[in-house]
Amino acid sequence: MGNIEETCSSLRAQIAATEAQLANLKRDLLNAERAAAADSESADTARPTDGSKQSTGRWPLLQEEYRRYGRQMIIPQIGLEGQLKLHAAKALLVGAGGLGCPAAQYLAGAGVGTIGLIDGDTVEISNLHRQVLYRGRSVGKYKVDSAIESLRELNPHPEYIAHRTHLVPGEAATIFEQYDIILDCTDNPATRYLISDTAVLLGKPLVSASALRTEGQLMVLNNPPREPGNPEGGPCYRCVFPKPPPADSVVSCADGGILGPVVGTMGVMQALEAIKVITTSSNVDRDPPSLLIFSAYSTPQFRSIKLRSRRPNCVVCSANATVTLDTIASGSTDYVFFCGSTNSPSLLRPDERVSPREYHENHGLPMSNAGSGVYAEEKPHTIIDVRDKTQFGICSLDNSVNIPISSILASVPTAGVQNSQGHDADEQLPSWLPPDIASAERNDPIYVVCRLGNDSQLAVQKLKDLGIDHNGERFIGDIRGGFHAWREQVDPEWPQY
């Protein structure tokens, strides 16, 4: 096994080196073609390589660029003037995931002169169904590096800048200053507020999008960009959402799921709005601010909600702003505190939690590949799986009971549950709880499991609040780490999704 792993590692290293060499050769070829064009056609000189993107020849673009961008240049809203604006523009995408990939593709295809990408993550196989810049060979690489390799193949003319890091307050202003427009392609509230605040304070328009499950949202913020206190400026993210959502209500794509074309649609829309911002003249009336809502399974799929202008009491873009570049850089503006902790909850005591291995050993459960479906040494107990029915249908433990956490948290107690004497119980129990599990005559342990070990803790607390533990006489606990840990500790063939 060790020799095979070493061989795979060596092959990956060789592939990476070869791809880097290929990228260098492509750049050399492009420079050679430009030099040849300059020698053979004095009237069609290439733009200089000093970053000024100005032409001293007869035509402002290369002949190849006229052919490449011709189909969009003949659109009245673009024209040569708009193409030159795109040529000179510098766009920054914060996040190179499901939103950032299609947005970057279309900005590169349109000829945006400089494209920066910020992301500190590496490519995982679970990204590939929606993050369309990556391939199987990209797994393990920095997203920004792999993305730029793909973008150069699409269009070698733009300058691509990789920022291999997660955006942090101390570095945000320094990075944003280099660009003209910002695209928020992230998926957590704290970073969204940081991006918006920094963009407003630096006078950068912001295109913000989000997507989850089968729905998405899109806004163009701080457009037109104006200094804080100027009511003519576009609203910021805080104007639309003065307060962040409760931390425990924020669902990530990993937990809630995402349909690839949904996030792709929103990323393409981001690119479209960015192109409109870049190419629209300053003396042309802009569209009023609005929130575009997309729902894949609704009719109609798109709805638009008009947004108000800047809030007069906004802490960032009003005349009484308290958030400044200094408070951001110094950490005085604490985004994690403002949005709530992003850490996974630890709600139970250690004695209320068991590891997957402990559970497996205590109850003699077979591996899923054993095929027998029979307990080697069956011990009476109840296992409750609180994932939703869709996930439960993908994979589940034998004899487990599916009670979705959404039903548990949204339930209202109902009457009619009886105790062992046949009288109504003092505590009314909710309808989602099977009477046999709640029976006062049962004292077998109850284990709760979920995907990652977070929802299971909430369910354990709820069961104890209902008195199902018989004042502590009956064990109720969760399987720590959920099925993610189950795969690592018990069954390596358990589906990972």
Question: Is residue 101 part of an annotated ligand binding site?
Answer: no
Question: Is residue 238 part of an annotated ligand binding site?
Answer: no
Instruction: Please identify which of the residues 8, 253, 339, 395 carries the catalytic annotation.
Output: 253
Residue 133: both structure tokens together: 């810049």
Give the largest CA-CA distance in the chain: 101
| 304: enclosing H helix or E strand | strand 302-306
Question: Is residue 127 part of an annotated ligand binding site?
Answer: yes
Give the integer Cα–Cα distance in Å for 316 and 325.
10
Residue 280: both structure tokens together: 């629209």
Handedness of CA 84, 87, 90, 93 (dihedral sign): positive
User: Strand, helix or coil at 267?
Assistant: helix
185 assigned to active site: no
CA dist 296 to 186, 269, 292, 301, 339, Å?
20, 14, 13, 6, 28
Burial 314-351 (b: 16+ CB within 10 A, else e): bbbbbeebebbbebbbeeebebbeebbeeeeeeebeee
Question: Is residue 130 part of an annotated ligand binding site?
Answer: yes
Q: Which residues lie closer than 8 Å to 232 by C-beta, 6 or more apart? A: 224, 226
Nearest partner of 20 among 162, 118, 128, 120, judged by Cα: 162
Instruction: Please identify which of the residues 101, 185, 339, 450 carries the catalytic annotation.
Output: 450
| 183: enclosing H helix or E strand | strand 181-184
Burial 212-250 (b: 16+ CB within 10 A, else e): bbbbbbbbbbbbebbebeeeebbbbbbbbeeebeeeeeb
Nearest partner of 236 among 182, 273, 167, 173, judged by Cα: 182
Question: Is residue 143 part of an annotated ligand binding site?
Answer: yes
395 assigned to active site: no
Question: Is residue 98 part of an annotated ligand binding site?
Answer: yes
* CB contact at 8 A, 409 and 458: yes
Residue 382 burial (CB count, 10 A): 19
User: Strand, helix or coil at 150?
Assistant: helix
* CB contact at 8 A, 66 and 79: no
Q: Which residues lie closer than 8 Å to 378 by C-beta, 6 or more apart? A: 363, 364
Number of DSSP helices (H) and strands (E) in the chain, helices first: 18, 13
Question: Is residue 218 part of an annotated ligand binding site?
Answer: no
Question: Is residue 154 part of an annotated ligand binding site?
Answer: no
Give the integer Cα–Cα distance in Å for 266 and 425.
51
Question: Is residue 422 part of an annotated ligand binding site?
Answer: no
Question: Is residue 119 part of an annotated ligand binding site?
Answer: yes
* CB contact at 8 A, 453 and 484: yes
Question: Is residue 236 part of an annotated ligand binding site?
Answer: yes
Question: Is residue 243 part of an annotated ligand binding site?
Answer: no
Question: Is residue 454 part of an annotated ligand binding site?
Answer: no
Q: Give me the active site residues, please.
A: 253, 450
Binding-site annotation: residue ranges for Zn(2+): 236, 239, 314, 317
**Which residues participate in the annotated binding site?**
98, 119, 126-130, 143, 187-188, 236, 239, 314, 317
| Binding-site annotation, residues for ATP | 98, 119, 126-130, 143, 187-188
